[in-house]
Amino acid sequence: MQRRLELQPRLQAIADWVRPGARIADVGTDHGYLPVWLLQTGVVEYAIASDINESPLEHARRTSREYGQQMEFRLCNGLDGISPQEADTVVIAGMGGENIASILERAPWTREGHMLLLQPMSKPEYLRGFLAGHGYRVTRERLVRDKGVLYPILEAKGGSMATPSPGRLHGGIALASDPLEGEYLSSLIGKLSRAAQGLRQAKDGRERAVELDGIVQELEKMRKEWENANCSAD
User: Judged by CB under 6 A, does residue 77 bind ligand SAM?
Assistant: yes
C-alpha span between 183 and 116 (Å, rounded): 26
Given the complex with ligand SAM, which of 94 and 152 has the nearer CB atom?
A: 94
C-alpha span between 151 and 149 (Å, rounded): 6
Residue 174 sits at the vertex; the CA angle it makes with 169 and 176, to the nearest 5 degrees, is 105
User: Judged by CB under 6 A, does residue 164 bind ligand SAM?
Assistant: no
- Specify the stretch interacting with ligand SAM by CB under 6 A; choose among 28-36, 147-155, 199-207, 215-223: 28-36
- Specify the stretch interacting with ligand SAM by CB under 6 A; choose among 26-34, 134-142, 190-198, 213-221: 26-34
C-alpha span between 84 and 110 (Å, rounded): 7
User: Judged by CB under 6 A, does residue 51 bind ligand SAM?
Assistant: yes
User: Judged by CB under 6 A, does residue 100 bind ligand SAM?
Assistant: no
Q: Are strands 136-146 and 149-158 parallel, antiparallel or unpaired?
A: antiparallel
User: Judged by CB under 6 A, does residue 103 bind ligand SAM?
Assistant: yes
Instruction: Pick the binder of ligand SAM from 15, 18, 71, 78 (CB under 6 A).
Output: 78
User: Judged by CB under 6 A, does residue 122 bind ligand SAM?
Assistant: no
Where b means 16+ CB within 10 Å and e means fewer, 59-92 reads bbeebbeebebebbbbeeebbebbeeeebbbbbb
**What is the number of H-type helices and E-type strands within the chain?**
8, 7
Instruction: Pick the binder of ligand SAM from 25, 38, 56, 152 (CB under 6 A).
Output: 56
User: Judged by CB under 6 A, does residue 93 bind ligand SAM?
Assistant: yes
Where on the chain is the footprint of ligand SAM (CB under 6 A)?
Answer: 11, 27-30, 50-53, 56, 77-78, 93-95, 99, 103
